[in-house]
Chain A
């Protein structure tokens, strides 16, 4: 009985220490901003497409600037508006940074193409985001966010993510990384409680949810155009 209480109890939240959250806020936004900087450099700086060093230097500068303590860091202001990014967002940006770097250093390397597993996971994340948005406005009969502090939520999300992987195994480096994002985010949650101790904050944040919706819409649109 005590075991079930521990598993299903709604009074068992465990949050991260403030110091750990502060490190995550800076490191997380550093990775996200470094990826954005690298992307901007690749797109708008003439010659940077061929010379990966320019992009790398800018990304490293932006990343280091974000990590500095005090108020002169973008993390201080991004935290004011958006709090900390989710673990999935940070690892997704880390993967994209690696892919982008690969494209710089080996211009012949092909950017990974989204396969069915990635698309399925994206669609799942978009649906989950809508459910969490409705929950934020108390438009669902149960409080999903409150449930996300409990161990049952961690176990359920882990099981769902891993069963999806087992049934539709990914192929290729990009997909494997995408598919591993949720399990890795859960590992970070159970070990360090990052970013907030809530499973939903670990696997999805509203920023990446918005980006995923745009990505999914663009994919559907290009498929529609190809067919027509």
Chain B
């Protein structure tokens, strides 16, 4: 005899206790299925990796030993927001620099350009575009309106990963973060090709208004923590953790303040990190937050004494008590770019003024990289080109 739908329904639903039991069982089944799909290996607590092993250089003696412009893509008038990536020791290039370039900032033909510094020839290769918004959009399956800041990272498998600001329907406030990964077998510039992994999911609100700017903090497990910020109306910083394969693990908010953006992460110990940030307020100072558990929880600290003219800063924790910061030191202009050092992250002393121009000049968006005993710095000049400098400690100078 066929069972009617209503009879089946009343058997399943029954009384309230039976329905509640059924609800509990269904929820437990969904949770069990979810847990079964996730990796069974526990994720280790985040521990940052020191960029310098061995003898600690005396940062007070750092001085410029080489400098110059980085070759621009032919015919492009605008360049901004460079990021540096150290290449493996056996690679013909010591490092790669990525930046965005086109007719103008936020122009429709802006692409991500790159150049590599060749060890043997001691020179930069001609620039080459490595990310195009039309190509990346087609590969991704959805449109990308404009491209902006790139940030580079080498994952645990030795592949170049690039995180690029890509806008949706709107200007920079409609930005998302596009994650691309090396697709080519090699990563020499002439053979480098990148393919989208995904748009990082960062917000419920159409996943909009998140941007990257500063370099990630490498972790001992081969993963990293990538600093980002939100900038629709108010500004706040956050960070994303990725494992050694570039898999997204989670995100954390860095500050309760609503005017801090473009965080740069400096390690003080493997689990004590500072986030130094740009301040969008008039007459702002460098904004600071602190974590003691590898980025899981953050506390706001009082602002630094350093002025900040609403401009990006770049920091680097090299070794215990050895931190560097490149920043625009004037309150009203990006015409001066300074490099300072600190032992505690609070008190900073000038190492060298990297650039000093007229108030209308712009030397901005610095990027720092420590490589083979030298500090490499790149920065934007007047939004038209990218400049570089290499600084080395004076011979015989080592920290006490």
Contact = CB atoms under 8 A, between A and B. Distances in A.
Interface of A: 2, 5-7, 9-15, 18, 21-22, 25-26, 69-71, 75-77, 79-83, 132-133, 135-138, 141, 143, 145-146, 148-151, 154-155, 158-159, 162-163, 165-167, 169, 183, 186-187, 189-191, 193, 196-198, 200-201, 204-206
Contacts of B43: 9, 11-12
B31 A169 contact: no
A133 B205 contact: yes
Most buried by A among B37, B204, B249: B204
B34 interface: yes
Contact of A80 (B38, B46, B169): B169
A148 B251 CA distance: 10
B168 A14 contact: no
Given A11-B241, A135-B204, A154-B31, A79 B251 contact: no
Interface in B25-53: 26-28, 30-31, 33-35, 37-39, 42-43, 46
Given A2-B42, A14-B38, A151-B34, A71 B138 contact: yes
A144 to B, nearest CB: 8
Most buried by B among A82, A193, A205: A82
Contacts of A69: 141
Contacts of A191: 33, 37
Contact of A159 (B24, B39, B197): B24
Contact of A83 (B26, B206, B251): B206
Nearest to B17: A166
B222 to A, nearest CB: 14
The B interface, classified by DSSP as helix, strand, loop or mixed, is mixed
Interface string B1-29: 00000000000010010011011101110
Contact of B203 (A25, A136, A151, A204): A136
12 contacts: A2-B42, A12-B38, A12-B43, A12-B250, A71-B143, A83-B168, A83-B199, A151-B31, A154-B34, A187-B30, A189-B34, A198-B204
B142 A201 contact: no
B198 A15 contact: yes
B22 A186 contact: no
A159 B206 contact: no
A137 B235 CA distance: 8
Contact of B252 (A14, A136, A146, A189): A146
Most buried by B among A71, A154, A162: A162
A105 to B, nearest CB: 21
Nearest to B34: A190
B115 to A, nearest CB: 28
B236 A138 contact: yes
Interface string B331-367: 0000000000000000000000000000000000000
A75 B142 contact: yes
B141 A75 contact: yes
B229 to A, nearest CB: 10
Contacts of B198: 15, 18, 21
B247 interface: yes
A158 B31 contact: yes
Given A79-B143, A143-B251, A166 B23 contact: yes
A15 B248 contact: yes
Given A75-B142, A162-B24, A197-B248, 7 more contacts: A10-B296, A18-B140, A138-B234, A162-B27, A167-B19, A190-B37, A204-B204
A71 B43 CA distance: 39
B272 interface: no
Contact of B250 (A13, A75, A196): A13
B137 interface: yes
A11 B206 CA distance: 22
B232 interface: yes
Interface string B206-245: 1100000000000000000000001011101010010000
A145 B203 contact: yes
A158 B28 CA distance: 8
Contacts of A149: 250-251
Nearest to A86: B204
B258 A76 contact: no
B144 interface: yes
Contacts of B39: 12, 14
Contacts of A9: 42-43
A206 B203 CA distance: 11
B59 to A, nearest CB: 33
B145 interface: yes
Contacts of B232: 137
B201 interface: yes
A80 B145 contact: yes
Closest 6 pairs (CB-CB, A-B)? A79-B142, A80-B143, A162-B23, A166-B19, A155-B31, A81-B169
A25 B34 contact: no
Nearest to B202: A145
A15 B247 contact: yes
A130 to B, nearest CB: 11
Contact of B142 (A76, A148, A151, A200): A76
B57 interface: no
Given A2-B42, A15-B201, A158-B31, A81 B168 contact: yes
A137 B26 contact: no
A76 to B, nearest CB: 5
Given A10-B296, A80-B143, A155-B31, A163 B20 contact: yes
